[in-house]
Amino acid sequence: MTYPSWAAGVNLPDFLYSDMTRQVKDPEVLQARQIEALHPLGIRRVRLFTFHRDVDPAESVRRTALALDLLYEFGCDAILTLSDGRDEVFQPGATAASAVLDYFTARRYREHLLPAAEMIVSALREHPALLAWEMGNRLSLRPPITPDDSRAFMTFVSEIGGTILNIDPNALVGMGIASCAEVTPEEDRELFARRLYTLGCVTLISVAGGTALERAKAYLDYNLARELSLPFYAFDVAMEQAAGALKEEVEVWRESDAFGIFVAPDAAAVGEGITFPWTVEYDPSLTVQANALAAAFKPAQTRTFVIMNGPLGVRTNPRISARRLYTLQPGAYIEVDVQSRTEADKFVWWRHRDGWSAEKTLDERSIYMRDRATLIPPPPSGSNGSGEPVFTVTPIRIDQTDLPYDVNTLPLRDLMFQLLPVESSQIEWVQYYGNTHFAYRHGKAWNYDGYSQGLHGGFDFGVSPGTRVPVRAGVHGTVLRPGLKFSPRRVDIRVGDYLIIFGHLHAETPRVPPGMDVNPDTVIGTIASSVAFSPHVHIEIRYPYPSFHTIINPLLFMPDVLRSRLLAFPTDFYAHALNWTRWGTPFDQPVISLGGRVIGPRARF
């Protein structure tokens, strides 16, 4: 189980079923408008209700999957609540008190909720936008609560939670209760609450924010979450308070080790600010105080840092003793609040979306991350006596699978780029080699499974559409007869036992003939503007001559000065399957065997 990173979130009870609950004509259009409105405020988490009593479970799965796809595209995640948000325990024709008790004591949840939960968890357990499951929404027992009532509720938790964990063993699973005070007898509350949270099928706790009364009820939940080291979040954080008060409350929960808070924008009172789409569609008189949200969740100014020395910890507070949530690997980007700089424990700390990380030691003997704006250095200078520039190359340990030889013994310096194939000023974006976002999401459609073991087999330099950007060899080598892949045209250059492929070049550019010797400045073509997605040149390095059956990370053949330049460009490298911990940076990627078995996170699917 991984402790989630900090994020602010919203409850959107009608997100999946606004066509049924609010008579919205096109709910998917409304969903996109809602997430677009939330994104500028820094809100990256949504709590959704997955089922509706009048909708077939298979249709609920379809709607939920589409919503998760949308959230993933916007960099958000979701807590999926196995409820329609409307007291599903109440059945037509029954009194409220008897219905609640009968739902648990007579195991009526086995009729509909249990099979529906099995279906949706099985279908969506691997979705990258899924953060956690909850068994219901505000489940409770009517007072006076007896020990037998509470034991019946525990059986419900064991069966539903156990079912989820049997299908998704690494899942975060919460109960979806307001507080343990709602499901335990008053006279033995702490005893029953401790039993409830140690059943083994509750791995997430929700703690009530909101009013002082709700906080008092939730005090036991909060203490047990801390004592048992279970992740917890705060819900019902008051939206109607002023911006300063809301920001202060957000900080209180953040400092308490909560992994996030949830507000309920549909319940907000009239106030100044932007009217969000979910309120416009339902009632024009309701508005959300967007100014308060923005002040609480999003810093006014940010700086972008690149992790240079890792793994670097992300902590709940700017202290070495604070809880470490996870680690950042070299090459990762983070945006920090420019006003958050803090000196503590002999380090300089900055706060970012997920927590606090150290930039450097106060004496600057150790530097862990640098401002991205400073990472484009001047051209290398100096000479080795022959007129060639002097480069430093930091060794990188190479991971390998299914190879009969040790890749780490290869003569990497036999092939060393002295120039980037594309001028830095003309690069718009890059896609790294290996376990990339694109390979995970789209690789199957592009036959990465049959070609490069499900991973991206090269390094892409992206440029602006409509331009004719020249591509340089970047190395000393000899042109070979090109292969057929990577249309419209490609150029193959041999350097010792290595082959460099330059793919997706323009078909009408002057051809470099086989046998021609090239140097780093030789222009070998221009980038085609007709390439699918965006125009780019694909650089692929293969080994050994003459079979060239192994593909190797091009970053291994670049000196530090060129690697640093590439870190300054936008990329979506860090977006992979949940619970995947290998090959998480541009530098630690494996070698690829042409046509070998699929490896990486998608190999499990």
Domains and their CATH numbers in the chain: 7-297 (3.20.20.80), 302-374 (2.30.30.40), 407-604 (2.70.70.10)
> Crossing angle, helix 57-73 and helix 113-124, to 10 degrees?
40
pLDDT digits (tens, 9 = 90+) for 156-206: 999 999 999 999 998 999 998 778 888 999 888 999 999 999 999 999 999
Which pLDDT does position 124 carry in this prediction? Answer: 93
pLDDT of residue 474: 93
Average of per-residue pLDDT across 270-291 = 40
Dihedral of the CA atoms 183, 185, 186, 192 (nearest 10)?
-80
pTM of the model: 0.57
Give the model's pLDDT for residue 323. 76
- 21 phi, psi to nearest 5 deg: -90, -25
The reported pLDDT for the residue numbered 416 is 82
Give Cα 136 distance to the centre of its chain: 25
Question: CA–CA distance from 22 to each of 269, 277, 282 (Å)?
Answer: 19, 13, 7
Least confident of 12-21, 78-87, 508-517, 539-548: 78-87
Greater confidence (266 vs 72) lies with 72
Tokens 């083994």 locate to 200
Beta strands in 416-565 (DSSP E): 429-431, 459-462, 470-472, 477-480, 489-495, 498-505, 517-518, 523-526, 536-543, 550-552
How far apart CA 509 and CA 53 sit, in angstroms, is: 62
Min mean pLDDT across 239-243, 311-315, 337-341, 511-515 is at: 239-243
User: Above 60 in pLDDT, residue 272?
Assistant: no
